[in-house]
Structure 1
Amino acid sequence: MNDEALSGREIIVESFGGVEVLRLRERTFSAPPPGHARVRTVAIGVGFTDLMARRGDYLLQRKVPFTPGYELVGEVVDHEELEPGTLVAAALPKMGAYADYVVLPSWLLVPLPDGLDPAVAATVPLDYLTALSILETHAQLTTGDTVLIHGASGGVGQALSQLGRLKGLRMYGTASAAGSDERLARYGVSFIDYRHQDFAAVIAQREPDGISAVFDHIGGANIRKGYRLLARGGVFVSYAFAGRPGHMVADTVRGALRVNLLNLLPGRRTAVCMLPKEIKSNHDWYRHSLRRLLEQVHAGELEVAPGATFPLAQAADVHRALERREINGKAVLTTK
């Protein structure tokens, strides 16, 4: 083990606000305590959760200062078992990935398959673990089941679409981004343009007996509307709540309460997927699932690629571009 403190950079948010609050600073990263590892980051996934946290709209990150970022790929610096230089991926149970170095519990580190591009791998942990948890832990679906995926062209939506295709699901997906119909068709998803179509009317017409599951990241009126589309025994799974600007936390709490109250009704069920908590509560599931997903990407079973890459120092530019919807797919920060 290397006991030397290492100098590096991190992005810090000291007050909630716009992209201008993302500040790059130098700091030292101490040697890891027992049971932990120090990792030099190579690629960091950037998602909309990071933007919400920066603005103060994310329920699981309500205090400043903090360093954003839930997912990364890096090289082991010092570890009790892994060789220095080993490439590993990690989904973090709390934010802190926007940095040159991170100190993490050893159980979080999952080695990359040989030859897998770190920038590609960095787009996998958060979205694909969320999708896998929705499909297998919460929905518990089988081949031939019919589902509705809201935001099917987004990060989790595309992960659900691809994993759903491998599982043999019949899928409908709402989206509006240009090219969504062609992209979703590759995954076997029937496209619903929510700008011009009422998703509930489309599903009710095509699936009069109801569907097996609805996956929702919006909340509000969508909750009851989607719940009513379920067949007996169906499940409604929420994995985020859009909320109103300035009311995100309150709307998230209200949405989660609605979902849980609907679970009291007979005949159907509801669930809320909160990946950071699930990672902390089930280490074995996390490690097995992330390893499996990375192997599927490496084998070409899942189509994964970053929408854009930027150096760490340009984190504010990435947030700005994501807010303006200028990037299709997940953005990645690099430290080299």
Structure 2
Amino acid sequence: MREITYRKVVAERFGGSDVLRTVQATLPVPPPGHARVRVLAAGIGFTDLMARSGDYLLQRRTPFTPGYELAGEVVDFTVDSRTPAWLRAGARVAAALTKMAAYSEFITLPLWQLVPLPEGLDPHLASAVPLDYLTAISLLDTHGRLRTGDTVLIQGASGGVGQAVGTLGRLRGLRMYGTASSSGSREALARHGVTFIDYRREDFEVVLREREPDGVQAVFDHIGGNNLSKGYRVLAPGGVLVSYAFSGRPGRMVGDTVRGAARVKFMNLQPHRRTALSMVPREIKADHAGYRTALGNLLDMAKRGAITPQIAATFPLAKAADVHAALERREITGKVVLTMS
């Protein structure tokens, strides 16, 4: 084994898309229980944009390399007692990271974090699965504990996580309502069995009180603020409000996130209903086996076409700053994947 020289994207400081730089680095020989992976594709999420601007609670230091999800090819590895039998040089893998680092041509990862790609699954498609769909699993199963026939409200149902929840919710036989702003979302959500609520023209609390007078079993919220109280009020007895993100004021996102999380925990002290916080990177770190099983199942579903992440565009690694800027200007809607040379 020898050192590998490669390129990666680095946020040198917090700020606009111009703080992203493509730099050259050296990857040393992997320590025991780790592999070096040639990254083939990395997914871009809005969490990456928040981290770059300094508004993400789990990324408080610079410099750093953005990105939580990737698909790649194993270059080499150093064995230990837990090395999986399937692992070999050249094996294609996917991974969800517990610490941002995916915008990179090569990366060193612990062996437990690698999940084999099903034969024939496009690595670009695979790189769009981990973050959104593992978040959906966290919402539906880990915290929601939902059963066939249960009714849920998905805030931001046309976003990446919202679409993942809708896709998996349909397969689980859930009854679903989803808030979105675009009239074109109605048809897209209907394909997953999600009833569209136009949040610009309708109050979801009023709509649900009329259509679901007994309440819903779960509300999945990524907004926070007054939506938390409204979502809590539409829950049925025993229902759960799960928060997986918070919208805050520019420059004050971290503080608003902390206050939102504290509010969710305080609400959980009230009787008859539950609240929960979904923080996927921490959940992955806490349950390695559960993570590998969940991501393995999702990749199998992607191979079969049971889930179909919608990739809006692909760009080379060197265009990461341009992609961030375009996403912030709303010139691109949907999942974007970075590709490596």
User: Is residue 53 of structure 1 aligned with residue 51 of structure 2?
Assistant: yes
CA distance in 2, matches of 1:326, 1:181: 21
Match of 1:26 in 2: 24
> What is the aligned length?
334
CA distance in 1, matches of 2:183, 2:93: 34
Letter in 2 for 1:182: E
Aligned to 2:290, the other structure's residue is in SS state helix
Find 2:182's aligned residue among 164, 177, 182: 177
Give the Å deviation of 1:305: 3.0
**Aligned positions of 1:96-107 closer than 5 A:** 96-107=101-112
**Aligned positions of 1:16-165 closer than 5 A:** 16-79=14-77, 80=79, 82-165=87-170
Match of 2:10 in 1: 12
Find 1:300's aligned residue among 294, 305, 313: 305
Letter in 2 for 1:122: S
Using structure 1 for the length normalisation, give the TM-score: 0.98
Match of 2:217 in 1: 212
Q: Are the counterparts in 1 of residues 183 and 198 from structure 2 also a CA contact under 8 Å?
A: no
Letter in 2 for 1:68: P
CA RMSD of superposed structures (Å):
0.8
Match of 2:266 in 1: 261
Letter in 2 for 1:246: G
Give the Å deviation of 1:300: 1.0
Find 1:224's aligned residue among 221, 224, 229: 229
CA distance in 1, matches of 2:44, 2:131: 10
Letter in 2 for 1:60: L
**Aligned positions of 1:273-288 closer than 5 A:** 273-288=278-293
Q: Deviations over 1:262-319 (max 9, x none)?
A: 1000000000000000000000110000000000111111122311100000001110
Q: Deviations over 1:15-73 (max 9, x none)?
A: 10000000001111111100000000000000000000000000000111111000000
CA distance in 2, matches of 1:116, 1:329: 20
Give the Å deviation of 1:178: 5.2
Aligned to 1:232, the other structure's residue is in SS state strand
Give the Å deviation of 1:84: 1.5
CA distance in 1, matches of 2:8, 2:107: 10
What percent identity do the matched residue pairs reach? Answer: 64
Give the Å deviation of 1:177: 3.2
CA distance in 2, matches of 1:307, 1:85: 28
Using structure 2 for the length normalisation, give the TM-score: 0.97
Give the Å deviation of 1:135: 0.5
Give the Å deviation of 1:326: 2.0
Match of 1:317 in 2: 322
Match of 1:326 in 2: 331
Give the Å deviation of 1:179: 2.0
- Which stretches of structure 1, 4 residues or more, deviate above 6 A after TM superposition? none
Give ranges in structure 2 of 5+ residues lacking alignment: none
Give the Å deviation of 1:246: 1.0
Q: Are the counterparts in 1 of residues 6 and 25 from structure 2 also a CA contact under 8 Å?
A: yes
CA distance in 2, matches of 1:23, 1:201: 47
Letter in 2 for 1:289: A
Aligned to 2:228, the other structure's residue is in SS state helix
CA distance in 2, matches of 1:312, 1:31: 23
User: Is residue 239 of structure 1 aligned with residue 237 of structure 2?
Assistant: no
Give the Å deviation of 1:83: 1.8
CA distance in 2, matches of 1:172, 1:178: 15
Give ranges in structure 1 of 5+ residues lacking alignment: none
CA distance in 2, matches of 1:285, 1:179: 36
Letter in 1 for 2:295: L
Q: Deviations over 1:134-191 (max 9, x none)?
A: 1001010000000000000001000000000000000000011352111100000000
Aligned to 2:318, the other structure's residue is in SS state helix
Letter in 1 for 2:38: R
